[in-house]
Amino acid sequence: MKFRRDTFASTLYSLWKSNAIGEELDTLNAQLRAEFLTMGSETEDNIESISYIEYGLEEGRKFGPESIAGLKLKGTNVLVSELVHYLEEDEIYEYLSKSFPDLTRPQIEAAIRMATMVLIAFERLLSPQN
């Protein structure tokens, strides 16, 4: 039997690989929501969280590629990877070091950087780099 996280990862891969638009993209996003809740459980927090996330197009970027498809906040032009990238700031280190006092700053930064890179891996560039 396949682990649910495998199915979740497969759904992300399907979104990344496809050029889906319209109804097809809506269907893949519904599948992503279902797999997210199956893997993470249908708690009130998870249900609310996934309601804000979709795989879609970020357009009109000020730097880099003009358009990127990826996990983003629904109804915005903000990619989840961009938010996670900002977690590398000082305040988050102070907060996390209280919960994980044995970890060094470079270790915490490495974990956040890896999370950012995993998210970026599931983004698709839709125009050449400027």
Residue-level pLDDT at 36:
92
Contacts 24+ apart (CB under 8 A), 77-81: 79/119, 79/123, 80/53, 80/119, 81/116, 81/119, 81/120, 81/123
| Whether the Cβ atoms of residue 77 and residue 56 lie closer than 8 Å to each other | no
In the predicted structure, residue 5 carries a pLDDT above the cut 80: no
In this prediction the pTM is: 0.82
Neighbours of 40 (CB within 10 A): 16
**82-130 per-position pLDDT tens digit:** 899 888 776 888 889 999 999 999 999 999 999 999 999 999 887 554 4
pLDDT (average), residues 39-46:
91
Read off the amino acid at residue 30. A
